[in-house]
Each structure stands twice: as C-alpha cells, then as structure tokens.
Chains A and B, each alone.
Chain A
C-alpha cells in the first residue's frame, strides 16, 4: 500500500498521476476464512479493519452483493452527531464520534470529517422543553450540546429565518459543536484500503444466498453466487437486508425495512456553515464541500426493498426547507435517491451475538447509521473476536425485546436521526 503524503503526491505528479497503484485488489474468494463479514458498507468494512488492526484476526473476507459502499453508506446525508437522550445511546454514539476524530490520520485517507456543528431547531414549547431535557441529559453523560437563543442560532447559521412571522418560528436551538459531516464514500474506501493492506479479502458482486449451519447449530459458512465459503464466525452487517439474511440462518428479527430518501441541489458558493435539523417539520440540510445543498427527507410509510421512495415525501421536506430558509426557494434540485433502512421497534440498533453460535449481527440502525460507522465497526469486531459484547454494545441485544429493556429513542429523537 502506498502511503498517501505530500511526497507521494509530488512523486506521482511527475508521472502525470498515471502510475498510482490500485487502492485495494479485487479478491477472489478462498475456500474458507476465520471470519466472514456480510456487507461491504462502512460498518462491515470497519469491522474487518478493526478485526485485523486491533484484534489480530487477518484471515477475514468481506462479501458484498453489489459494489462496496453502494448501499446506505453512499446514500445518506453524512451527518455525524451524538446528542441522543439515553445513557446507552450517549455511550454508543459518542464512542463513534471519538473514533471519527483522527480517523483520517489512522486510515491515511481523508474522510473529510468536518466538525461544523449540528443545530436542531425548536419550533414549539414542546420542542424547547424536549431539547433542553436532551441538553441536560447529554451534559450529564459528558456529551457536548448547548442551548442557543433564536438570535444566537441566527448568528451561527445566517440563512435561517427567525422572524416572528415565520411559518415555523424558531424558539431556540440545540447546538452540538462537535458534530458535523464527513464524506461518506471515502469512509468505505478508506476502511477498504486499510483492511486490504492488512490482508482482508474484499469480494464484491457476490451475493450471499444461504447461511450453512452444522448439526450442533453453529455456523459453518455461507453459500454465495460464487460457491460455498467456509467460516466458523460470520458477522452480518447488511442494513435493509438484515432480516433476509437472518432468515437464512432460521432467525426472525424485529426489523422492518423502509425506503428513506435524500436529494441534492445544484452546487452553489458556501452559504450553509453547519448542519440544521428540524425534527418537528421533518427537514435536515447541510452543504457539501462541492457546494450542493444536501437534504434528507423522511421514510415512506410502507416496507419496501425498492431503494426508491415517493415524490410527495420529497415535496413535504422541500416545502419545510423553503419555509425555514426562504433564500433557498429558487434553488434547483439536481438528484434524488433512496436507500432501504432497517428499523427496530425502539429505533435503537441490534449489535451483538445471536441465538445461533458463531453468528453475529449489526443491524437496526434505521435512519441514522452513518454517524455510527467507526463505532459499530469496532464494536462488531470486538464482539466477534471475544465472542462477547463490549460493555458499550452489551445493552443492544436481540433479547431486550423479550425482556422489555428497550432503548426507546423513538419518542425522544422524533423521526429524524
């Protein structure tokens, strides 16, 4: 692996940048591995990287039905934050933000993590009370979050309309300064390159069609489009298709898969200095370094694996954006797309062991998995390597739905994550 540096950039400039080596090889599957990760998104590639880097397990394959980073990793609005209400959530999301810090240096790959701040708007008395409760809970958990008056919010984000006559009046805002955005594709690419350099095989265009179990019930490997691949430990990190994979192992999961859409505008000069989220009117927006406004819409109401959603969902979001930011009314939208998100009943992930020996799962991140990428990868790797969960992901079991210890972020965080 070539180390990226000013020196290597200069050396390659001498050849007109035509001699850069491939970032990672396209591996053919071996007959067996110590660990197979199903799903080459940021979470799965991150798990493979941490298995090799931190836990010394390098005989690992990441198997992907499409191309790496082509699922929800490449379809989200790149928002990173950790201002969740409950203790369990604060720990898991803040663990991820800790890892985002310094990730570019660790991977020798610029993931463009920009702590530009996430501003959550309060439009009603209920919003004000709920956000202030979040801020207090966050501060008790050591998570950065602070209350801003409407004027302070306007100073932090000048395009905001805080006039009293606004359709959605701004009564204040919660600001997490440590939160921000990253470039989503580079997260997958950076982990893929770093994992491959440590010996991990990345196998693309190879859908898993079955999970084989032995007479003792434990996993033996996966059936794929390119034949059987053996492994005694399998980690599934397949977002919207998680329940389909779990059914291959004979497990039924508390998951439902919904379409979630996002869209970008034509690129313009820098105008949005931060991320703004408005949960009550369901809009979130930031500006990419390319200049496009990146806007997240809501989920459709029905389950679907189609990776596309309905137009009225986008219209609803854009109507809200135009009310909160009147200056964007004449912007033209360039592209829209959808992903399939796997949602649990309590809107918190399932990350840990399963009732099947040797089968581990990382799923249920719903509409907000991108922010957790490094954390989820590290915790899945830990759980696979030690065959027991890390204290941070210990509460995120499948069994919590049986025992009733839900981590009910749904009511607290509204719909947007």
Chain B
C-alpha cells in the first residue's frame, strides 16, 4: 500500500484513505459543441499513460475530502511530490531536484 502525503492535511496517510482520480492537468473544454469528434475523443479517452514520471489527481475521500495533484513515478510507484489543486504543473527541473 502506498503512503501518500495530502498537501492539505500535510501528513502522510495510507492509500486506502485516498481514491485515484486519473491524469492531472486535463482542462475541460469550455464549449464542447464547437469541437470536432477527434478533439472530443482526445479529451474523453486519450491519456498519456506515462511509463515514468506521471502527473495525476488524487482525492482524499476518507480524510479532508479534497482533490489534489501528485507527481509519481509509475515504474517504482514512488511519489515525487504532491501539490494543491490549482497550482501549475511543476517544471522538469523541480522534479529532477526532488528526485535527487
């Protein structure tokens, strides 16, 4: 089981308190009716599914009940960092620094 640091509760809690909520930083289109099928399918179904550093959302459902974002290595399952919703996607250099 993973240990996950909720950026709101500011403590590491076991994974069973959390629920995974898919890839992060996918922006919902403001006017879906104006989109063509290719773009709409991309939004609905296409994911990075990254082997390596992955940006993803988690939901602290059995804790503070808030969504937050995380950077995790999908090969080792190790969390590199978690950050509050609304903050920009951390830059690669920032991630490299934490990984060291």
Residues on A lying within 8 angstroms of B by beta carbon are 241, 243-244, 252-257, 301-306, 308, 310-312, 345, 401-404
**Is the CB–CB distance between B37 and A252 below 8 Å?**
no
Contacts of B76 in A (CB 8 A): 306
Interface centre among A252, A402, A403 (most CB of B within 10 A): A402
Query: A310 to B15, Cβ gap below 8 A?
Result: yes
Contact of A312 among B1, B44, B74 (CB under 8 A): B1
Question: Which residues of the other chain, A, contact B16 by a CB distance below 8 angstroms?
Answer: 312
Taking the complex as formed, is B77 at the interface, i.e. its CB lies under 8 A from any CB of chain A?
A: yes
Chain-A contact segment, one of B5-13, B46-54, B80-88: B46-54
Q: Can you list 7 A-B contacts with CB-CB less than 8 angstroms, sorted by A residue number?
A: A253-B46, A254-B41, A257-B49, A301-B20, A302-B72, A303-B54, A310-B15
A325 to B61, CA, bound (A): 32
User: In the bound complex, do residue B47 and residue A256 qualify as a contact, i.e. CB atoms below 8 Å apart?
Assistant: yes
Most buried by A among B20, B45, B46, B47: B45
A232 CB to nearest chain B CB (Å): 27
List residues of chain A with CB within 8 A of the CB of B65: none
The number of chain B residues with a CB under 8 A from chain A is 24
**Is the Cβ of B75 less than 8 Å from the Cβ of A305?**
yes
Q: How far is the CB of B77 from chain A (nearest CB, A)?
A: 5
- Judge whether B2 is part of the interface by a CB distance below 8 angstroms: yes
Which residues from 10 to 60 on chain B have a C-beta closer than 8 Å to any C-beta of chain A? 15-16, 19-20, 37-38, 41-42, 44-49, 51, 54, 56
Does the CB pair B15–A254 fall under 8 Å? no
| Contacting residues, chain A, for B47 (C-beta < 8 A) | 254-256
Residues of B within 8 A of A254 (CB): 41, 45-47
Q: Whole-angstrom distance from the CB of A56 to the nearest CB of chain B?
A: 36
The interface of chain B, by Cβ under 8 A from chain A, is 1-2, 15-16, 19-20, 37-38, 41-42, 44-49, 51, 54, 56, 72, 74-77
**Most A C-beta atoms less than 10 A away, residue of B15, B38, B44, B77:** B77
A241-B49 Cα distance, complex, nearest whole Å: 9
* Bound: A64/B41 CA distance, A: 32
Whether B2 contacts A310 by the Cβ 8 Å rule is: yes
Partner among B42, B46, B74 whose Cβ is within 8 Å of the Cβ of A306 = B74
Q: Which 4 A-B pairs have the closest CB atoms?
A: A254-B45, A301-B20, A243-B49, A402-B41
Known pairs A345-B44, A402-B38; A244 contacts B2 (CB<8 A): no
